[in-house]
Amino acid sequence: MPAYRVSAPLVLVRDEEGRTHHCYEGSVVDVVDSGHAHYLLKSGMVSDVNAPEPSHAVDTHTTVSDPDQRGARPPHVAAKAVWVDYAVVQGFDRVEAESMTKEQLVTTLG
């Protein structure tokens, strides 16, 4: 069973007995259900602990400062400030983007 490092603030994972565990950012977890593991990987909530680190990872807690990442869509779990920066790169006015909630930004830009 592969191990995953949690990159979202909180991920809920079920064990073999069906109990749900609250797994916090930075923790390493085993995901029993391969479909759920695929979903968590695709959504950016976890990463494979054995996979090499990407050379230009997007920090989910700060703004995007790497010019190579400015056009890349942030993961859903990224901080609102990252989504605001992304909105500005996509042509939004910064004040308008900052007045929106994170969910509004994700829905509008996603």
Domain count, the chain: 2
Domain membership flag for residue 61: no
Residue 34 lies in a domain: yes
Over residues 11-62, the pLDDT tens digits come to 888 888 888 889 888 888 888 888 888 888 888 888 888 776 554 444 444 4
Read off the tokens for 90: 């996509």
Measured CA to CA, the distance from residue 23 to residue 7 in angstroms comes to: 10
Can you read off the two tokens belonging to residue 36? Answer: 């759920």
Q: How far does CA 110 lie from the centroid of its chain?
A: 13
Q: Using an 8 Å Cβ cutoff, are 45 and 24 in contact?
A: no
Is residue 54 included in any domain, yes or no?
A: no
Amino acid found at 25: E
- 99 has a pLDDT exceeding 90: yes
Domain that holds residue 30: 3-48
In a domain, 87, yes or no: yes
pTM as predicted? 0.47
Task: Please indicate, yes or no, if residue 84 is contained in any of the structural domains.
Answer: yes
